[in-house]
A and B are shown apart, each in its own frame.
Chain A
């Protein structure tokens, strides 16, 4: 006797097919992007020396850009994460509902502002406003390598770019963290309260341990956005080919994305290939960062599950 096929409904089959197609499509798109970058960028890896002006070869050309990309994103994260977690905690655990809802709404709106607008604001308003701050940092904290003078006269510094980036990633980190904080099991919160924990102690005992891996994921999403952000950085930063930790001077490294955006239109075909190759490097950097982050999270979770 032939084995009967398991009974399935038509709707189920159709939906499974649609879902599978969608999943495959995204994998194909990702692979397609990689193949494009690789084919188009490959000549850029070993072009004649003068194409890499002012650098000599591909590595010395892309090196400062990779540094600038990671440095800008890192500074942005350092600024943004405490803010985002603070806002998220305020919304989920401190603010009364009539305050929490509008604040959450405004934060979500911030995420919808196009990056060009942030770029305009950062390059004009914020850069102006930061000038005295930069001078102050130079005079009082100049002994720290981050704030060695002379302070920029235009205000278009790494610090300005990082602040703009920070404002751009605060909403996404806040939104996800808030969601996770709010999901903390009531049982754990009450366990802490019943021991005589204050609100803050309760958050440390019950909320943070529960939310830890989720918040790390949120931060990684923010980092991803900061690494890839193009227009805002291109419009704010006055960039040269340097590697420096200095946050307040006129000479700043560009980021990969902003460098592509500012140079692609006028570039010769040779030069375009080089820019695409840097795009390939950005692809790899983003991948590596995400991968590393996931490893960190997985290790943390294993430790808890032990």
Chain B
């Protein structure tokens, strides 16, 4: 049975937040906390100007609309990595899917992204062939 620390049913009012997150304040200006693994991630990333996902678990947060950094989305849901796409010039893109509203977004991978997590994501279609025989049939047809 869960322990109850508060015996009365009156709930304390939420504490007023006096620290402004984001630009202009010293706190959480140069980093963010990952929604998936709770690690603190610096915003500066090698190879990309704007990082939008955690380099460790590759999860992201649905805060932007169509333009990166516009903070136009009111969803704030967790975005999990869905697949890896490749640009014609060979750059990898990470496709995220919002767990809350189902929106998809693509972002270039950063230089310090977890190579093992990226490789697991890239190998996922080959590991479990979902549509029966699609992967095996395609391999046999080659």
A complexed with B: no
- A-to-B contact residues, CB < 8 Å: none
Query: Which B residues are within 8 Å of any A CB, using their own CB?
Result: none
